[in-house]
Structure 1
Amino acid sequence: MFVDIETAPVQAEWADLSVEMQAEWTRKARLIRHTGDEQPDPAAMYGERAGIYSEFARIVCIGFGSMYNSATGWKLRLKAIAGEDEKKILQEFNNVIARIIGLQGDIRFCGHNIKEFDIPFICRRSVINNVPLPPALQLSGKKPWEVQHIDTMELWKFGDVKHYTSLSLLATILGIPSPKTDMDGSQVGEVFWKDKDLDRISKYCMNDVLTAARVYLRLKGIDNIDLQPDHADV
């Protein structure tokens, strides 16, 4: 299953947080402050940076896809679960995982930087929302080699432990259409809180999933598949 998530700050503004969470973010801001900022503005940094930290951000969309061979060639069946109720998003995603395991017997997740971001984020937000983790996501205590996710960023590292390459850059240099045609991840919070445009976020997320799948095929040397999107239920 190819997976991607979109996240937004858990509240629209720093001032909307509880007093306790405001204090926690202020401490966090000191640790991640911009270079040269001796006293960072926690409110400003909240809008800029909170969306990538699972303690201060919520999942607003989970996009996923699975490949299948149709009469007209290989396609990626895509779906996005989006909404304002994070708990329902996580529960529905768990139901999808259960259905796939019931049909296939097992599941492996694939995506760009999912080992460091998407999967841990899903797990942490599930715990915060008191949503039971399915067996496929019960990863605490496992050794690194026991976590079987396929990460396209890790494949691109070729053993380099420090290198980071965005999905957009990787797609561009490999000649794959970039997923950042309409927006990028830094805009999701604003589109969620101000524009209330979940449909736009869903389309962006599914485009990321499709791009990650195409990048994966290229990195594995599978050049004979022209993968096409199929926006349908999984």
Structure 2
Amino acid sequence: MRQANIYFDIETIPTQSENIKNYIHNSLIAPANYKTAEAISAWVEKNKEPAYRKTALNGGFGQIVCIGYAINDSDVKTIYYDKWAESEKEILVTFFNDLKNCYTPSAEIIPNFIGHNIENFDLRFIYQRAIVLGVNPPSFLPLNNKSYNNMYIFDTMIEWVGKRGFVSLNEICMSLGLPTKGDAIDGSKVWDFVQAGKINEVAEYCAADVEKVRAIYKRIMFQNIT
């Protein structure tokens, strides 16, 4: 059987809902060793922004601002919009339609979705956002599945360190002598770049990660080895 490799990555930001933001802030509880009202208030104020930023990792609260993908050896395509605050649904619809247009599964061709930490993050996030936004994904997109019992997912992190381990994409690149990320942007800085009007740089960062995933996959699969 032939295999269609679909390499992809997503970039996410914290919730844009004031109701959810207020809920996160109001849910903060200072540790028990903070006794005075002044100390408790200072702790809550200090932790408001970090707690808010963590919603970028929660598919029920956060938002997708960019999806990058490539099929087999095709060029990487990034889906994003300058009006990022109101375009998440359009990003998902475009991504799903592109997959349907570029790839039709059959008994002879197996889709293989490849990415870094996609089992525990990217696919779960896409799954949750599709539900929240009411966007119907393609039937062949392996949402809510596990790579170790589903041939449609190849998670480079799990393949490298196992189901219980963690390794960054950058660390694998370092191990394999592949180009690593610069210091200008990483996942923790995406929201800062978006707020600064640099969504195009976020898209470039996303595309670079897709290329890294593709290179890592080929090394793990011992492709182009002479």
Q: Assess, with a 3 A threshold, how the Cα gap between structure 1 residues 148 and 67 changes in structure 2: closer, same or farther.
A: closer
Structure 1 letter corresponding to 2:186 = D
1:95 aligned counterpart, secondary structure? helix
In the aligned structure 1, how far is the partner of 2:221 from the partner of 2:146? 26
Match of 1:117 in 2: 121
Q: Summarize the alignment of residues 140-159 of structure 1 with structure 2, pairs less than 5 Å apart.
A: 140=144, 145-146=149-150, 148-157=152-161
Cα contact 2:142–2:153 (8 A) shared by 1: no
TM-aligned CA deviation for residue 110 of structure 1: 0.2
In the aligned structure 2, how far is the partner of 1:168 from the partner of 1:89? 26
Match of 2:213 in 1: 212
Identify which of 62, 66, 78 aligns with 2:67.
Answer: 62
Q: TM-score, normalised by structure 2?
A: 0.79
Identify which of 101, 104, 113 aligns with 1:102.
Answer: 104
TM-aligned CA deviation for residue 22 of structure 1: 2.0
Q: TM-score, normalised by structure 1?
A: 0.77
Runs of 4+, deviation exceeding 4 Å: 36-42, 103-106, 140-144
Is residue 11 of structure 2 the alignment partner of residue 6 of structure 1? yes
Structure 2 letter corresponding to 1:121 = F
**Who wins on radius of gyration, i.e. which is larger?**
2
Match of 1:169 in 2: 171
Q: How many residues align?
A: 206
TM-aligned CA deviation for residue 147 of structure 1: 6.0
Cα contact 1:152–1:212 (8 A) shared by 2: yes
TM-aligned CA deviation for residue 106 of structure 1: 4.5
TM-aligned CA deviation for residue 136 of structure 1: 1.9
In the aligned structure 1, how far is the partner of 2:177 from the partner of 2:145? 39
Is residue 76 of structure 2 the alignment partner of residue 78 of structure 1? yes
Match of 1:232 in 2: none
Match of 2:22 in 1: 22
In the aligned structure 2, how far is the partner of 1:209 from the partner of 1:156? 17
In the aligned structure 1, how far is the partner of 2:25 from the partner of 2:112? 34
TM-aligned CA deviation for residue 26 of structure 1: 4.3
Post-superposition Cα deviations, 1:167-222, rounded to whole Å, max 9, x if no partner, equal 011111211001345310111111112x1222111100000000011111111222
Unaligned runs of 5+ in 2: 1-5, 35-39
Worse-matched range after superposition: 122-131 or 180-189:
180-189
RMSD over equivalenced CA pairs, Å: 2.9
In the aligned structure 2, how far is the partner of 1:2 from the partner of 1:49? 25
Unaligned runs of 5+ in 1: 69-75, 226-234
Structure 2 letter corresponding to 1:209 = V
Q: Assess, with a 3 A threshold, how the Cα gap between structure 1 residues 50 and 152 changes in structure 2: closer, same or farther.
A: same
Post-superposition Cα deviations, 1:9-33, rounded to whole Å, max 9, x if no partner, equal 122xxxx612x65225643x56xx9
Cα contact 1:126–1:133 (8 A) shared by 2: yes
Give the fraction of aligned pairs with identical amino acids, expressed as a percent. Answer: 26
Post-superposition Cα deviations, 1:102-130, rounded to whole Å, max 9, x if no partner, equal 38755221011111111111111111111
Q: Assess, with a 3 A threshold, how the Cα gap between structure 1 residues 114 and 138 changes in structure 2: closer, same or farther.
A: closer
Structure 1 letter corresponding to 2:223 = I
1:215 aligned counterpart, secondary structure? helix
Structure 2 letter corresponding to 1:153 = M
Is residue 136 of structure 2 the alignment partner of residue 132 of structure 1? yes
